[in-house]
């Protein structure tokens, strides 16, 4: 086993998906430390802290990481884009698992990996006093950080699905995630996540990723589809979105007390 720097947190999520142990996830877009603390004890293996389609940024994610520090659930952060500056900033505050959106081909996958590696393997800028280094208290952080960094890339267009094998083959890619929402739009079925063609595309993509030897992941609130994807090889599976759960549950509660509602 490779040496791990003293004080460098082990990435149990990365180890779990490498061993193909199912990791159940929840998408989190409420963008607050308080909100993330509410769901931290709900029993999920990982929580996706979304900064692509939410008001969240580096500072709000920092607060969420601090709120999660006493919990076993793994934080996974989605930057707003495949941007080395954004990626660097999240790594520096201690993020160890990143889900990079809208990766279209192997070249973009290699760029995502390079953003998480120090030179000469990559382009991550060096600072010895970040939260990730425990402010200089993790000896030899620079030499060992990549061991515990998990790079997940999101395929969410027909073009990206055509490049799945090449993307999965990129060294340093730890998992490939299927994004049904943008994929549906790419196929001309925006908002129609249950369209048979979209379902077929998602399930075929999961099977291809699994066959490539890389862990596969997906987000779907459709329980039947989630279970089907698990059967096909999805090992990091998000099954709901915090905002959606809150909105639908409160609507149902209000409706139940309206005349004729309950």
Q: Mean pLDDT for each 10-residue chunk of the chain (262 residues)?
A: 69 98 98 97 98 97 97 98 98 98 98 98 96 95 97 97 97 97 94 94 97 97 97 98 97 94 70
Q: How confident is the model over 2-57, as pLDDT tens digits?
A: 455 668 999 999 999 999 999 999 999 999 999 999 999 999 999 999 999 999 99
User: DSSP of 195-249, one letter per residue?
Assistant: -HHHHHHHHHHHHHHHHHTS-EEEE-S-HHHHHHHHHHTEEEEEEEEHHHHHHHH
pLDDT of residue 62: 98
- pLDDT value for 260: 82
Provide the pLDDT for residue 7: 82
> What's CA 104's distance to the chain center, in Å?
16
User: Count of CB atoms within 10 A of residue 203's CB?
Assistant: 18
The whole-number pLDDT of residue 1 equals: 36
The pLDDT assigned to 193 comes to: 92
Active site residues: 53
Residue 245 neighbours by CB distance under 10 Å: 14
Cα–Cα distance for residue pair 184/225, rounded to 1 Å? 15
Q: Rounded to an integer, what distance in angstroms lies between the CA atom of residue 9 and that of residue 136? A: 14
Residue 63 near residue 37, CB atoms below 8 Å: no
Omega into 120 within 30° of 0, i.e. cis? yes
Kindly report the pTM of this predicted structure: 0.95
């Amino acid at each position: 086993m490779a040496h791990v720097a003293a004080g460098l947190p082990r990435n149990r999520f990365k180890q779990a998906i490498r061993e193909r142990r199912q990791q159940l996830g929840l998408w989190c877009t409420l963008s607050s430390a308080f909100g993330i603390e509410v769901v931290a004890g709900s029993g999920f293996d990982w929580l996706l802290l979304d900064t692509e389609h939410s008001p969240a940024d580096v500072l709000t994610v920092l607060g969420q990481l601090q709120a999660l520090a006493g919990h076993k659930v793994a934080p996974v952060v989605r930057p707003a884009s495949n941007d080395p500056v954004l990626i660097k900033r999240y790594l520096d505050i201690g993020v160890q698992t990143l889900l990079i959106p809208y990766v279209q081909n192997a070249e973009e996958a290699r760029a995502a990996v390079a953003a998480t590696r120090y030179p000469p393997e990559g382009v991550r800028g060096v600072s010895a006093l970040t939260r990730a280094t425990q402010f200089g208290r993790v000896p030899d952080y620079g030499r060992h950080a990549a061991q515990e960094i998990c790079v997940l890339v999101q395929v969410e267009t027909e073009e990206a699905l055509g490049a799945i094998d090449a993307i999965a083959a990129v060294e340093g890619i730890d998992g490939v995630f299927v994004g049904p929402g943008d994929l549906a739009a790419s196929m001309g079925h925006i908002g129609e996540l249950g369209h048979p063609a979209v379902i077929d595309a998602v399930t075929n993509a999961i099977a291809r990723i699994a066959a490539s030897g890389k862990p596969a992941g997906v987000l779907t609130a459709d329980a039947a589809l989630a279970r089907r994807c698990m059967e096909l090889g999805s090992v990091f599976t998000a099954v709901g979105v915090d905002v959606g759960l809150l909105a639908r549950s409160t609507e149902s509660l209000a409706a139940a007390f309206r005349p004729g509602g309950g």
